[in-house]
Amino acid sequence: RDTDRSRGLGDVYKRQLLFHTLRSMLIQEGINIDPVLHSTGIRMGQSLYNKLYDDDLEVFIENIAEFWETKGLGKLSFKLGQIIKITASDCFECELLPKTGKPACYLDTGIFQALFSEFFGLPVRVIEIQCCTMGDENCVFEIEPFKRK
């Protein structure tokens, strides 16, 4: 039986719980899926780019934020400058994971890396500086041009 209660956010929560249960089990078994999540995020970002693109950076980030929220991935806010700062609240990727003291949003990092590398036409570095798994209230990502060391 299909009701409003069994669709929408309920389905998002079920998918989120399944994702986190699987990820937690792999962590407990000592399997590091972070590189797989990051490369999957890059592919997802590349696929999403044309759907979210706009010549205007402000519109582009509004499109990203709207997509994120409507798909139940969380709420994004942006601070533009030399370094773009993205704050994610209600983060789909990590909010149900245990506290580990390390960032955990490798899928999001990959998506943001692909979207902004495509937008600017040059490689960018995305660093998660705050994460729910580090005990922070929100996840915060910094995006800057990639600099070789």
Q: Are 90 and 76 in contact (CB under 8 A)?
A: no
Residues of the chain with pLDDT under 70: 1-17, 20, 148-149
Q: What are 34's two structure tokens? A: 């972070």
Strands 84-89 and 124-130: unpaired
Residue-wise pLDDT tens digits, 81-107: 999 999 999 998 888 888 889 999 999
